[in-house]
Structure 1
């Protein structure tokens, strides 16, 4: 019979208040201690010990993770200095002294560990390399379930964040943002990219609590905004819409704090695209127009990007006139583009990207409002031809939309050939957006039951989506 849960007294100590609040928030979210521990990468024993006020040193990074997972608005980060900040290091050192057992956990790695569950340091006392199969059998690793394996390689304590921000800390945030952006474009926003992105965002948000000079402060907020943009994009690609929206709004606030109009515009562009995607084109239009506030401070490329977002919103509303006008404004702005004026991270918005983004608006006009599909088809073809291999996802999505447009408005056999090429590319991605576009192509193919090529494509799409 399960033991009754111990009643907590928040007035007993700052640690007890912290633990009582954690239990309240956890139960409010309907999470068990094990489930919450898995989300923040600690054991359920740690969660329960913190709740009972018995954990010797809840690390600040764990407090930040709890805030993020439980969406507290920063309650635990603000309470951490009172509950643990003054003597946490001393308590941890004392606890270590009293434990004379051999250490069997991975050595802590100070830099970069938030990006992976791996550790470059070998386990102390690990056997000399032997035959892998016999080692697995002898050690019992083969019998462990995946959750056990995750716990086995998870850090026992979160990495320490800097107390004072230096220029190299800001450079690290920007470097990680650039890396995630590359991975996201190459592989999609799911899988490991999603996991890495979430951890990096938690780390970067924690830097805002550290001491920072007035000189570095705008750069810090700009770097965190930049990371927030790419992390939100990764969540969007995984169709984690609430996470994406929350991260972009946070990024917009950071961009405002930094006084960076370019980052602000990019954030609102993404918010607009997501709103259109989830069927809220009016909200998408509002976001796009917010991004265009003080457009004189934006580059021509950024104006083209935001007018394209307006076009996509109008198209979902089946507003032909305003869609075509917005596409024209986007084209005019892009014609004035001077890449040397753009921030480095805007380099992705080249001819292929512009063609593909405007083609999405024209696609909706063709499918939803019966307009000529020719212009959309031409632009999707330009995007497919022009996208660099580094932007595999964008190329795959444009190819899929071209196949869907051809299937709906043209020759289904030609559409099937294009669709198979798109499937070859999408199969190497973890993009749920790309998969969603495949489903649309499959539905269009279903309108041609007597065309064997279309039927074959539909069956292959179904098999791919199930896999």
Structure 2
């Protein structure tokens, strides 16, 4: 069954906007059809089955039904590194119901619990059939940043116990024991370890299910201290659900979880945790080509967590600030943020760090700073100067991650990052060898983010060095193991 036409065959005019973005993407019609079908399967929209003739009709002016406009918006945004709304593509997008669209949500405990419960339930029950993916839209610019600024507004008297949103399950109020709370916290740590080892695709639904269970607990009356601990667990689980969604390419879903995690962190009274959530929102905006939004979000996190964040958290925030400045091409401020990240890291006391920031090791610091230098090289027109700065720092990150069995996804991502640096330095053989190593690691993790970066790096190598034997072999392996961009590779290898 296909997606069906959105309008009759008469009075159609070519969709000039969609044709323009299509030309910029470098995709063929067949490749667009394959990408749409793959993304539809990811969100559970199993009724979607698109082919080349259907894509041609869209270009000729036919309006597809949801979830196609949102899928095309996500695909072009990721392909071109900037937010491309459905309207930018000349497509009509369905009206967004207030419960699932936008990020301007009430900053109040009962509403936060209700929204988390509804959204996690929808993700579990409806996401598999495609309804959740079709009802979400990314926010950016002031529509995203301004609501997040309310995170800084203090709640009079601090976070309060949550009044029951429904009748208790029994005649007696729920009283969680200390060991039960500790078990919930330990489970969250376990999920975080699984994500680092295996990628977001394997355990995402388990995390969402645990999040839903914890929000159920929050709908019972609890003492203030217990409610705060439950909100902290909720914030960590929502952040992890967002991170896993980001890792598998569900960008609107990821953003929604990040926003709800920030709300929960505010109710927990945990400013550093909120800053960590904002840092991941900043990373997502860099990925989507919105570095100015990323910078505002990271500054909001830094301001809100001043005097409360550990040195490790402060170092991570400075490193993300450097990434945003690099994407903006601001060389001096990027260098300054890199130095501040390194200085803060020297003051770290591991015993002071909560579990959610313990991933930020020496390897991670080197990785972030190397990516900042690499991004400066791209912004400066493939500058060999910044590439030469990136190479030793990225090499050190790869060496450290190679011995870290708990962070295999990071190992793969930095192998790819080092490959891109070698491409900047016009060394395609070494770039191909590193990408082969990344593909070996990628087979052990389930991360669409890793797979996408492997495809992009290989496409770049084929475009620039398609006649080099090592690159030709890499292309053949990609076609066999990660074939989504096969046709694009064939077109570039001329």
Pairwise TM-score range, normalised by the shorter structure = 0.5 to 0.7
1:456 is aligned, of 473, 476, 481, to 473
Partner residue in 2 for 1:43? none
Paired with 1:265 and 1:63, the residues of 2 have a C-alpha distance of 22
**Structural mapping, 1:349-388, within 5 Å:** 349-369=360-380, 370=383, 371-387=385-401, 388=404
Distance 1:263 1:63, change over 3 A: closer
Which SS does the other structure have where 1:430 is aligned? coil
Partner residue in 2 for 1:111? none
Partner residue in 1 for 2:258? 248
**Partners of 1:177 and 1:227 within 8 A in 2:** yes
Q: Which has the larger radius of gyration?
A: 1
Paired with 1:177 and 1:170, the residues of 2 have a C-alpha distance of 11
Deviation at 1:30, TM superposition (A): 7.8
1:186 is aligned, of 189, 197, 200, to 197
Which SS does the other structure have where 1:264 is aligned? helix
Deviation at 1:202, TM superposition (A): 1.8
Paired with 2:234 and 2:298, the residues of 1 have a C-alpha distance of 22
Which SS does the other structure have where 2:482 is aligned? helix
Q: Which runs of 5+ in 2 are unaligned?
A: 1-64, 68-116, 136-162, 485-494
Paired with 1:428 and 1:199, the residues of 2 have a C-alpha distance of 24
Paired with 2:282 and 2:219, the residues of 1 have a C-alpha distance of 30
Partner residue in 1 for 2:157? none
**Partners of 1:273 and 1:284 within 8 A in 2:** yes
RCO greater where, 1 or 2, for CA within 8 Å and sep 6 or more?
Answer: 2
Which SS does the other structure have where 1:421 is aligned? helix
Partner residue in 2 for 1:122? none
Which SS does the other structure have where 1:292 is aligned? helix
Partner residue in 2 for 1:108? none
Paired with 2:120 and 2:348, the residues of 1 have a C-alpha distance of 41
**Partners of 1:380 and 1:402 within 8 A in 2:** yes
Paired with 1:63 and 1:228, the residues of 2 have a C-alpha distance of 10
Paired positions, count: 329
Paired with 1:412 and 1:265, the residues of 2 have a C-alpha distance of 39
Partner residue in 1 for 2:333? 322
Deviation at 1:283, TM superposition (A): 0.9
Deviation at 1:364, TM superposition (A): 0.7
* 1:161-199 deviation digits (Å, cap 9, x = unpaired): x96240344323322211221111111101x31221222
Distance 1:404 1:80, change over 3 A: same
Partner residue in 1 for 2:447? 431
TM-score, normalised with respect to structure 2: 0.62
Distance 1:165 1:316, change over 3 A: farther
Q: Which runs of 5+ in 1 are unaligned?
A: 1-28, 32-60, 73-77, 90-159
Partner residue in 2 for 1:174? 185
Paired with 1:80 and 1:364, the residues of 2 have a C-alpha distance of 47
Which SS does the other structure have where 2:406 is aligned? helix
**Partners of 2:164 and 2:219 within 8 A in 1:** no
**Partners of 1:282 and 1:313 within 8 A in 2:** yes
Partner residue in 2 for 1:45? none
Partner residue in 2 for 1:411? 427
TM-score, normalised with respect to structure 1: 0.65
* 1:327-356 deviation digits (Å, cap 9, x = unpaired): 111111112222222223322111001111
- 1:257 and 2:273 aligned: no
